[in-house]
Amino acid sequence: MQTLVTGGAGFIGGHVAEALAASGHDVTVLDNFEPYYDLGIKEHNVETGREAAASSAGSYELVRGSITDEELVAELVADTDVVYHQAAQAGVRKSVEEPAKVNYYNVDGTITLLDAARAHDPQRVVVASSSSVYGKPEYLPYDEDHPTEPVSPYGVSKLATEQYARVYAELYGLPTVSLRYFTVYGPRMRPNMAMTNFVSRCLHGEPPVIYGTGEQTRDFTYVEDVKRINEQLLTDDSADGEILNIGSTDNIDIQTLAEVIRDELAPELDLVYDEARTGDAEHTHADISKAADLLDYEPTVDIREGVRKFIDWYHENEDWYDPLVRQS
């Protein structure tokens, strides 16, 4: 099957592209290599995808370009059976600094893609959304009916993204599914995430830095679970037109996460606290019953097992992945 993964050189997109290529599908990756973080990590994502294709009957093609390029996007979508729309300007803090840029890539780019899909009628468009759409909790865990009042421009952009996908499904009959990811982590994750920073600092004898009180909670979702549900949607139409939470149900506060990592790597270190970051949500926790009902979704990796797996991977790949090693 011919697939297009926008943002396919990024963290989640790279894993989705790898999984599809490994299963023998033909994968085209569209990515503009925005230098939001070290592009060497994106190059590794691309190489991993190519290796997956080489070991199967699939293919892998990288196209360097922007999701906002109407002509290019239309050309790529025209030859595609299923689109995975992962392209976005990531980062809550980045969105606070540059809201217009985030809107341009995340909202305008999504409309560009959906218009191309409307014209060329692929079997499905799977859209990456985020738990950031919820904002301040009225109750936890969040179900999909919870009010959406995002507290950052990034959250606003993701809410617009999924709502455009819903409207295109209702108005034009375009099969879309939007997945609200809850803090996805794992190998090749962005190096500016809390978990990566905790591990890197501990490995180098530096105390983990917690922004805020550490009482903030997160529902961390291991990337293998995200890969699996995306690959399932290649052929499963059970959730067409829907918006679904994709989380782990495994909620942990940031201080405990830092302690788990510290105790594993450098138990002699103290924790350090700094000012809270603007735009960060206080709590996230997923109710995944809708995804379970429609797609039999069930997370397989809890946070403590996932942290150990990530630390093992980190040790094996520290030479090219660790930010402090790269800076030295």
Q: Give the per-residue pLDDT at 255.
A: 95
CB 82 within 8 Å of CB 234: yes
296: region left, alpha or beta (phi > 0 left; psi from -120 to 50 alpha): left
- As to burial, measured by CB atoms within 10 angstroms (0-12 exposed, 13-18 middle, 19+ buried), residue 170 is exposed
What sign does the CA torsion over 223, 225, 231, 233 have?
negative
Query: How many other CB atoms sit within 10 Å of the CB of residue 193?
Result: 17
**DSSP code string of 102-116:** HHIIIIIHHHHHHHH
Per DSSP, the three-state class of 219 is strand
Q: Give the per-residue pLDDT at 120.
A: 97
Q: Give the per-residue pLDDT at 267.
A: 96
Q: Give the per-residue pLDDT at 326.
A: 62
Average pLDDT per consecutive 10 residues, the chain (328 residues; last block may be shorter): 98 98 98 91 97 96 98 97 96 90 97 98 98 94 97 96 98 98 96 91 94 93 97 97 93 94 95 87 92 97 93 94 70
* Closest C-alpha among 60, 68, 57 to residue 9: 60
Q: Give the per-residue pLDDT at 149.
A: 96
Query: Does the annotation mark 154 as catalytic?
Result: yes
Backbone phi, psi, residue 95, to 5°? -70, -30
Q: Give the per-residue pLDDT at 327.
A: 58
303-321 vs 194-203: helix crossing angle, rounded to 10 = 60
User: For the chain, what are the domain ranges?
Assistant: 2-182+223-248+286-300
DSSP state of 126: E
CATH of domain 2-182+223-248+286-300: 3.40.50.720
Instruction: Considering the candidates 154, 164, 185, 321, report the single residue annotated as catalytic.
Output: 154
